[in-house]
Amino acid sequence: MEAFISLFNQYNVPAAFLVNIELTLWSTLFSTILGVILVMMRISPVSSLRAVAGAYVELFKNLPLTIIMVFMVLGAYAQLKLSFSDTFTTNFFWLAVTGLSLYTAAFVCESLRSGINTVPLGQAEASRALGLSFMQSATQIILPQAFRGSVAPLGNTLIALLKNSTVAAAASVATETSSLMSEMIEYRSDVIVPIFLIFAFGYVILIIPIGMLTTYLSNKLAVRR
């Protein structure tokens, strides 16, 4: 117990978890927006849009997240001069959010597409019979039902995003949990087990409520056929 107390007194562990939570929340927002755009492109009647969206999803699903994060720093920032702020800490934070959002959007798209597959084909045919355009049919009829049918996979994507936020260290975000854990191990190697337990239980505490909420919403919002 003394080891845990000394670690919390010496290091600001809650602040590190807060950075990961902020990374997750912002990335969830942007990846959801991009994921919705991608899934609408994938079900679009325009073949070129379907091809572009399909290529994007396949590319980012199969790219290691670490490579994307390193590219955001060494490619987008160092070579392409992409910058969100004059402050290094803030700039690297948003570079990490961008990388996480681009990566996660591919999985959001696939989760929503699985939800679209639960919508009966007759729904789309009925909307066309009523004279609705593709955009009207997608936004007013198909996507609302798809969201209800994809709560579980979206919840799993959110959990994966929270855990993936630790890769932000590769984008030089020095205040998140993996960076802090490395620092703690380097300077407090005498208490390695308590260090691992702190971060392991920290993520368990964050992830279990998401899983429980996802299960509840999945059962409550499920479309009864």
Q: 172: left (phi > 0), else alpha (psi -120 to 50), else beta?
A: left
Residue 90 has pLDDT above 70, yes or no: yes
* pTM: predicted TM-score of the whole model, two decimal places: 0.89
Distances (CA, A) of 148 to 114, 130, 214, 217, 223: 11, 23, 11, 9, 7
Q: Which tokens belong to 156? A: 């799993």
Q: Which of 213, 207, 217 is nearest to 21 (CA)?
A: 207
pLDDT digits (tens, 9 = 90+) for 196-212: 999 999 999 999 999 99
CA 207 to chain centre: 13
| CA-CA-CA-CA torsion sign (78, 84, 87, 91) | negative
Quick one: pLDDT at residue 133? Answer: 81
- pLDDT, residue 18, reads 92
- Distance, in Å, from the CA atom of 65 to the CA atom of 69, rounded to the nearest integer, reads 6
Rounded to whole angstroms, how far apart are CA atoms 139 and 116? 12
At residue 225, the pLDDT reads: 53
